Structure 1
Amino acid sequence: MYKKEQASQLRQAFWTTLGQYIAPHPPADGGKVNWLNYRTGQKHVYFRMQADNRKASIGIELTHPDTELQELFFDQFRELKQVLHEYLGEEWEWLLHTKDENGKTISRIYKEIAPVNVFNQDDWPQLISFFKPRLVALDEFWSNAKYSFDSFW
């Protein structure tokens, strides 16, 4: 078992390493991008990557506090589901109105792998191979699809 400080350092080292692997890849719209803190330009729409000692996930999270508006946004993504899955080259899980770790109602479109352990450096190649192509595909999808969402908020 890792001490809290060791776990924090390993987690930070992993995300730094992932950032170094993905940094040379240009964003789809040609601008600048912080791959690890991706900005969608839409309030309450986030691309999230998570990894712990059991699993890893990447996904789109919709966090609007008004669940009806959140559902409208989720429905708009659902309209683009086939396009999204074509960019990703795979199907993802779709959850409307689930709870996050803080008990807040969110909606998620995500992909998960397990078992992997971000604290085990032997798993890092698998984690990087999981995150990098999916984040690049999300960027490519979003560079074309984001305009479909402009009228929502």
Structure 2
Amino acid sequence: MYTREQASQLRQAFWTTFGQYIAPHPSADGGKINWSNYKTGLKHVYFRMRAEKKTASIGIEMTHPDPEIQELLYEQFLELKLFLHETLGETWEWELHGTNEFGETVSRIYKEISPVNIFNREDWPTLISFFKPRIIALDDFWSNAQYSFDSLR
């Protein structure tokens, strides 16, 4: 078992390693990008990568505090579902109005793997191989799809 500080250092080390590994890849628009902290430019819509003790996930999270607006965002992604899955090359899970670790209502479109453990350095290649192609594909999707959300900005 790790202390809180050790766990924090290991997480930071993983995300630094991931960032260094993926940094040479430009965004779909050709620019430099912070892959680990991806900015969609749309308030309350995030591309999140998570790695824990037993699982890892990557996804699109809609966190708008108004459930009706959150549902509008979700429905807009539903309109793009086929395009999203084609760009990703796989099918993801869809969840309307779930609850996050803070008890907040969120909607998500995500892919998860297990068993993997961010605290086991031997799992890092698996985690990087899981995250890298998917965040690049999400960026590719978003470079085209973001304009569908202009009316919701």
Query: How far off its partner does 1:65 sit?
Result: 0.8
Partner of residue 55, structure 2: 55
Instruction: Write the distance in 2 (CA, Å) between the matches of 1:127 and 1:40.
Output: 22
Counting aligned pairs with the same residue, the percent is: 73
Partner of residue 44, structure 1: 44
Structure 1's unaligned 5+ residue stretches are none
Partner of residue 125, structure 2: 125
Instruction: Write the distance in 2 (CA, Å) between the matches of 1:146 and 1:132.
Output: 21
Instruction: Write the distance in 1 (CA, Å) between the matches of 2:41 and 2:32.
Output: 13
Instruction: Write the distance in 2 (CA, Å) between the matches of 1:124 and 1:93.
Output: 23
After superposition, residues 49-128 of structure 1 pair within 5 angstroms as: 49-128=49-128
> C-alpha root-mean-square deviation of aligned residues, in Å?
0.7
Name which of structure 1's ranges 1-10 and 124-133 shifts more when overlaid on structure 2. Answer: 1-10
Query: How far off its partner does 1:89 sit?
Result: 0.5
Q: Secondary structure at the match of 1:117?
A: coil
Moved over 3 A (4+): none
Q: Cα deviation per residue 1:108-132 (whole Å; 9 max; x = unaligned)?
A: 0000000000000000000000000
Give the TM-score normalised by structure 2. Answer: 0.98
Partner of residue 2, structure 2: 2
Partner of residue 135, structure 2: 135
Q: Secondary structure at the match of 1:98?
A: strand
Partner of residue 35, structure 2: 35
Query: How far off its partner does 1:37 sit?
Result: 0.7
Query: How far off its partner does 1:25 sit?
Result: 0.5
